[in-house]
Chains A and B, each alone.
Chain A
Amino acid sequence: MHINMSRDLWQDPWFLVGLSLTLLFAGLALLGPPLAPFDPWDISFTPISSPSAAHLLGINDGGQDIFSELLYAIRNTVAFGLLSGLTALVIGVLIGAISGWFGGFVDAILMRIADIILAIPAIMILILTAALFQPASYILALILASLMWPTIGKAIRAQTLSLRESLHVRAATQMGGGNWHIIRRHLIPEMFPLYLIGFAAKTRMAVFMEASLAFLGLFDPSRKSLGMMIAYALKYYYMEVWWNWLTPPILCLSLVIMGVTFLAISLEKVVDPRLREALVEKTA
């Protein structure tokens, strides 16, 4: 659609940084476990050792290789975030667009449901579910998604409502454009930044939520996770191990969130030419 979109993107530092981080963590999530030098569940090493050539980040209190543990934890955390964010986005966009475009009774029902879900604190549900039923992590991700979509849905619905009244959508309707044409050519591209923003926000939230639940020890203790690593490392904050044990998971968590956010910002700029100009003026 946009001829010089790629060129603009490659010149955008936000995009480059975001992309590098995202690719790095995607790569780590995909290839990390095979690359791991040791089995992270292997407890045969000397507990609480400093980094060495064999163990790049040392050994934790359980006698496990921290570097291998970290690689497995990144995969779990990233997968949880993506699954949850993507599911929330799909549900939110679908429900928001249907609600806004068709209106009436459908709109009323869907939005009441959204209101109810909004009133429920997600963390509480997750803690209770995790504690009572100990479900698999992807179930928790889906439960989280089903609690996060209303904000996306409401934003999409509001945008659809205003777009429905906008002159170019009315013009397209007059020209004989059907629902599918208008949704595909006018509504979806028009709301693209909203998806990115929504997706980034929800992925961030899910990554953080996963870390929190793991920090609280609500996942299967054998499941590696950044949150769990932080929780264990924190017990030994008074020892010299914090920099090789505590810092890496915190740093990784932060970088994952940053990468997703940067990517969203830069894509948004390019997809919306008006925003692009405004940002160029601001940064210039």
Chain B
Amino acid sequence: MNLEIKNLDVAYGNGGHTIQALEDVNLKIDQGKCLALVGESGSGKTTLGKACLGLLTNNARQRGTILLNGQEIDTNDETALNTIRWKSVSMVFQNGAANLNPAHRIIDQVAEPLIQHGGAGRNEARGHAAKVLEEMGLPEACFGRYPHQLSGGQVQRVLLAMAMILDPGVLILDEPTSALDALTKGVVSRVIEEGRSRGKAILLITHDLEFAVRSADSVAVLYLGQIMETLPADELFSNPLHPYTLALKRSYPAMNSARDLGGIRGDAFYRTIHQHGHEDETDYLHSHIQVPESSHKDGHAPPSGCLFSERCTQAIEECQKGRVGFEQAGTHTVRCLRRGIVDMLELKGVEKGYDSVAALCPIDLLVKAGEIFSLVGETGSGKTTLAMTAAGVTRPDQGSRLFEGRDMDRWIKKDYKSLARRIGVIYQNPAESISHRFSVLETVAEPLTIHRVGLEKGERVERVKKCLADVHLSTDRAFLERYPHELNMGALQRICLARALVLGPRLLIADEPTSSLDPSVQAKVLKLLLDLQIERGLTMLFVSHDIGLVRKISDRIGVMLQGQMVERGPASSILSQPCHPYTRLLIESVRGAFSLELNRGNNRQYPAGCPFAPRCPERRDVCDKKPPQLRNIGHVQVACHFPVERPL
């Protein structure tokens, strides 16, 4: 069977205030497919599941159509609904035991739908129920028990058995794994797997992203009742397109990601729509996004425009205006005015040489808005040159540079200052990057001076203070008047960070920002960078030789060797399954496994073949003759003739 939802709107009425639970939802689940519905609590996931079964409460107003095998389900016709429930569409509700009748033995409860809807006799039904329960891995001794005598995991199995007993064509699972341990999750996973192979259409409602990726074919991301993005499940972690999907992914503690968790800035509970006098119009109908501790007055969200724009880090003015429709983008569909996450910085075929030494061979780099892209590699691999080229400080010999879609070289010539405002840079040595004749105030205010921002003196000091507070530094008078030689490295680096941020840049380029700091200060600075990324949507190009450090903050990693990028891709893939032998060497070295054999020939230029060949354990003849080209392996691009395809 297949399930199709068209233009579904659901609102819960409650006097003058109406909660908009779902709006303009369009979904299709084909036979044998599983669609995962993910989103924060309150996004309307469960309402969507219930709407399919006509189970919404009386105060819900539902519009739009739900088609089962192409036939519309009439949600007002109770008898028609009753024939569909259990038989064609069944649902496993969340909250486990609350869905079971505490007064009946579980075997009877599982058998009940069979008796009620399947017309089976009592004994036949019980026999079948026992069989299904057994399939779910419930021990026979439990069959006769009452719900309160079972554990949470066992209850979940019972509910699954109940849903499966009539072998429905459509299965809706509402948070089936929320209370389960990893092993019991396997049972749910198996049910989904079997269901798919038997041609069922499965709607999986979950906030467990990893489970969704593993079990589903595609994922729909729901935010405040609107679907923001639908995408193939395997791209949820590696290639999210909508900023909300990316933010959700960052908030999820995935096993193969070492990155520290980030949240999503702001908060949202639900949307209300209500009518009341509004300026000159009476009975003006408008919608709010209700956030905690907001009254009607300050809780106003845009009446129109993108729902996520308030929390979105790449929102522009237009996002607050008209309604945003769905757009197809490759295998994704995305509801975003800017067609998903935009490209912040793009370098194409950039080359740079110093005298006779090639610092950068033709190299491409793409940094997307809101992500942290890290460049790693050994000393002299061209990381800093690439970062400074991206910052517009170093001019490449060849190649083109785009920043926010504009040609950088032309931009630099025409109006360098406006470009400089958008790019902040922190350098490796904080003590040297601040003039020792500048006080803290003068240092942080220098960009304001250069760009003639905040010409009144008080205003400038206020901006400096705010920025210092953002980087967790003191803002009192005495501190503002201190000189660099009176401060420690950690404070200096944070002053540099404040200076880089004071103009509100879109891109932060950090060249080994923590290499001169001790671990505890380093931890603080890194945490600060992550917070800034979440709160300001700051895009970062992070340069480091320390892959162990980089894994804590990166979304994507590029591995550099002798001016080339030999491997790049999502941080989780690169760290768990590095394909290039050089990347493996870097990771192993961080783990303390130094190999003298592998470190030999460190700085040898290797014009003809692969630059890593002299040190490579997998080296073969072709490696000395032909330079490898970047090619795709999974989500990763790697330049190696014989990429390793086993986990580290």
CB atoms of A176 and B437 under 8 A apart: no
Given that A167-B429, A273-B436 are known contacts, is A176 also in contact with B451, CB under 8 Å in the complex? yes
Complex Cα–Cα for A175 and B392 (A): 10
Chain B residues, CB < 8 A from A173: 393
CB atoms of B485 and A274 under 8 A apart: yes
Chain B residues, CB < 8 A from A175: 420, 446-447, 450-451
Selected from B423, B438, B442, B450, the residue in CB contact (under 8 A) with A177 is B450
Given that A171-B425, A177-B450 are known contacts, is A273 also in contact with B485, CB under 8 Å in the complex? yes
Complex Cα–Cα for A84 and B539 (A): 56
Chain A: minimal CB distance from B386 (Å): 15
Complex Cα–Cα for A178 and B437 (A): 19
CB atoms of B450 and A176 under 8 A apart: yes
Complex Cα–Cα for A185 and B449 (A): 10
CB atoms of A190 and B435 under 8 A apart: yes
Residues of A171-193 at the interface with B, using a CB-CB cut-off of 8 Å, are: 171-178, 181, 185-186, 189-190
Chain A residues, CB < 8 A from B128: none
Chain B residues, CB < 8 A from A189: 435, 437
B418-452 vs A, Cβ < 8 Å mask (1 yes, 0 no): 01110101010100111111110010001101110
Chain A: minimal CB distance from B485 (Å): 6
Chain A interface main SS type? helix
CB atoms of A181 and B432 under 8 A apart: no
Determine the residue in chain A with the shortest Cβ distance to B442.
Answer: A1
Chain B: minimal CB distance from A159 (Å): 14
Say if the beta carbon of B391 comes within 8 Å of chain A: yes
Complex Cα–Cα for A211 and B439 (A): 44
Say if the beta carbon of B416 comes within 8 Å of chain A: yes
Say if the beta carbon of A44 comes within 8 Å of chain B: no
Say if the beta carbon of B417 comes within 8 Å of chain A: yes
Say if the beta carbon of A166 comes within 8 Å of chain B: yes
Chain B residues, CB < 8 A from A1: 437, 439, 442
Say if the beta carbon of A3 comes within 8 Å of chain B: yes
CB atoms of B433 and A167 under 8 A apart: yes
Complex Cα–Cα for A93 and B420 (A): 30
A180-221 vs B, Cβ < 8 Å mask (1 yes, 0 no): 010001100110000000000000000000000000000000
Chain A residues, CB < 8 A from B419: 176
Chain B residues, CB < 8 A from A166: 432
Chain A: minimal CB distance from B492 (Å): 12
Selected from B421, B434, B439, the residue in CB contact (under 8 A) with A176 is B421
Chain B: minimal CB distance from A270 (Å): 12
Complex Cα–Cα for A176 and B450 (A): 7
Determine the residue in chain B with the shortest Cβ distance to A163.
Answer: B435
Give the one of B429, B436, B439, B450 with max A CB within 10 A.
Answer: B450
CB atoms of A174 and B425 under 8 A apart: yes
Complex Cα–Cα for A175 and B419 (A): 9
Chain B residues, CB < 8 A from A170: 393, 433
Determine the residue in chain A with the shortest Cβ distance to B433.
Answer: A167
Say if the beta carbon of B194 comes within 8 Å of chain A: no
Say if the beta carbon of B483 comes within 8 Å of chain A: yes
Say if the beta carbon of A277 comes within 8 Å of chain B: yes
Residues of A19-56 at the interface with B, using a CB-CB cut-off of 8 Å, are: none
Selected from A3, A169, A172, the residue in CB contact (under 8 A) with B481 is A3
Chain B residues bordering chain A, tally (CB within 8 A): 30
Given that A174-B420, A273-B483 are known contacts, is A168 also in contact with B451, CB under 8 Å in the complex? no
CB atoms of A274 and B436 under 8 A apart: yes
Selected from A168, A178, A274, the residue in CB contact (under 8 A) with B432 is A168
Complex Cα–Cα for A49 and B499 (A): 73
Determine the residue in chain B with the shortest Cβ distance to A172.
Answer: B446
Complex Cα–Cα for A169 and B436 (A): 11
Chain B residues, CB < 8 A from A273: 436-437, 483, 485
Chain A residues, CB < 8 A from B451: 175-176
Chain A residues, CB < 8 A from B391: 174
Chain A residues, CB < 8 A from B499: 171
CB atoms of B425 and A181 under 8 A apart: no
Chain B residues, CB < 8 A from A177: 446, 450
Chain A residues, CB < 8 A from B442: 1
Complex Cα–Cα for A122 and B442 (A): 44
Chain A residues, CB < 8 A from B435: 168-169, 185-186, 189-190
CB atoms of A181 and B437 under 8 A apart: no
Chain B: minimal CB distance from A190 (Å): 6
CB atoms of B485 and A277 under 8 A apart: yes
Determine the residue in chain B with the shortest Cβ distance to A173.
Answer: B393
Complex Cα–Cα for A167 and B499 (A): 14
Determine the residue in chain B with the shortest Cβ distance to A182.
Answer: B450
CB atoms of B432 and A167 under 8 A apart: yes
CB atoms of B433 and A171 under 8 A apart: yes
Given that A274-B485, A277-B485 are known contacts, is A176 also in contact with B416, CB under 8 Å in the complex? yes
Complex Cα–Cα for A170 and B393 (A): 9
Complex Cα–Cα for A1 and B433 (A): 19
Chain A: minimal CB distance from B578 (Å): 33
CB atoms of A167 and B417 under 8 A apart: no
Chain B residues, CB < 8 A from A168: 432-435, 438
Chain A residues, CB < 8 A from B439: 1
Complex Cα–Cα for A171 and B427 (A): 8
Complex Cα–Cα for A181 and B435 (A): 13
Complex Cα–Cα for A265 and B638 (A): 61
Complex Cα–Cα for A46 and B560 (A): 93
A–B complex contacts, Cβ < 8 Å, 7 sampled: A1-B442, A169-B435, A171-B499, A176-B450, A177-B450, A186-B435, A273-B485
B residues adjacent to A (C-beta < 8 A): 391-393, 416-417, 419-421, 423, 425, 427, 429, 432-439, 442, 446-447, 449-451, 481, 483, 485, 499
Given A166-B432, A170-B393, A170-B433; 15 other pairs, CB 8 A cutoff: A167-B433, A168-B432, A168-B433, A168-B438, A169-B435, A171-B434, A174-B423, A175-B420, A176-B447, A176-B451, A185-B435, A186-B435, A189-B435, A273-B437, A273-B483
Sorted nearest first, the 4 A-B pairs with minimum C-beta distance are A176-B420, A176-B417, A167-B432, A167-B433
